Amino acid sequence: MSELIPLIEELITTPGVSGFEYQIAQLIVTKIEDHVDEVKIDRLGNVLARVSGKGATRVLIDAHMDEVGLVVKAIDDKGFVRFEVLGGLDNRILPAQRVIIHTKKGDIKGTIGFMPPHFTTGKERDKVIPAENLFIDIGASSKEEAVEAGVSIIDPITLQRGLDHLLGTRLCGKAFDDRIGCLVAIECIKNLKNQELGADILYSFSVEEERGLRGATVSSYSLKPEIAFPVDTTSSADFPEVKPYTTTIEIGKGPVIRAVDVRFVSNRQPREMLIQTAEKLKIPHQVAVAMGSTNGAAIQLSREGVATCPLCIPVRYTHSPVEIVDLKDIENTIKLLTETLKTIT
Contact 110, 139 (CB under 8 A): yes
* Strand duo 69-75 + 58-64: pairing: unpaired
Please state, as a whole number, how many other Cβ atoms lie within 10 Å of the Cβ of residue 9.
Answer: 15
Beta-sheet strands, E only, within the chain: 38-41, 47-51, 58-64, 69-75, 81-86, 98-103, 106-112, 136-137, 156-159, 164-165, 170-173, 200-206, 227-235, 256-261, 264-265, 286-289, 307-308, 311-315, 323-326
- Return the amino acid letter for 25: A
> Residue 111 and residue 329: Cα distance in Å, rounded?
33
Contact 155, 72 (CB under 8 A): yes
Please state, as a whole number, how many other Cβ atoms lie within 10 Å of the Cβ of residue 208.
Answer: 25
Contact 112, 136 (CB under 8 A): yes
Give catalytic status of residue 208 as yes or no.
Answer: no
- Return the amino acid letter for 233: T
- Return the amino acid letter for 136: I
> Residue 245 and residue 243: Cα distance in Å, rounded?
6
Contact 187, 266 (CB under 8 A): no
> Residue 209 and residue 201: Cα distance in Å, rounded?
21
> Residue 32 and residue 69: Cα distance in Å, rounded?
26
- Return the amino acid letter for 97: Q
Q: Catalytic one among 21, 208, 209, 250?
A: 209
Catalytic positions, please?
Answer: 209
